[in-house]
Amino acid sequence: MYCNYCGKVIQDDALVCAYCGIRVGASLARVKLVRPRLGRKVAGVCLGFSEYFDIDVTLVRVVWLIVAFMTGVGFLSYLIAWIIMPEEPLLLPAPTGVQPMTDTRY
Ligand SMILES: [Zn+2]
Note whether residue 61 is domain-resident.
yes
* Tens-digit pLDDT profile for residues 71-89: 878 888 888 888 888 888 8
Distance 30 CA to ligand 1 centre (A): 18
- What is the predicted pLDDT for the residue at 28? 47
Q: Is the pLDDT of residue 101 over 80?
A: no
Distance 35 CA to ligand 1 centre (A): 27
- What is the predicted pLDDT for the residue at 88? 84
Note whether residue 66 is domain-resident.
yes
Note whether residue 24 is domain-resident.
no
Domain count within the chain: 1
Note whether residue 23 is domain-resident.
no
Distance 54 CA to ligand 1 centre (A): 15
Distance 11 CA to ligand 1 centre (A): 11
- What is the predicted pLDDT for the residue at 100? 57
Note whether residue 5 is domain-resident.
no
* Tens-digit pLDDT profile for residues 12-66: 878 888 888 887 765 445 567 888 888 888 888 888 888 888 888 888 888 888 8
Host domain of residue 64: 31-84
Nearest by Cα to 61 from 76, 70, 48, 80 = 48
Note whether residue 19 is domain-resident.
no
Asked if 3 contacts 24 with a C-beta cutoff of 8 angstroms, the reply is: yes
Note whether residue 63 is domain-resident.
yes
Note whether residue 1 is domain-resident.
no
Exposed / middle / buried, residue 27 (Cβ in 10 Å: 0-12, 13-18, 19+): middle
Distance 2 CA to ligand 1 centre (A): 8
Distance 26 CA to ligand 1 centre (A): 14
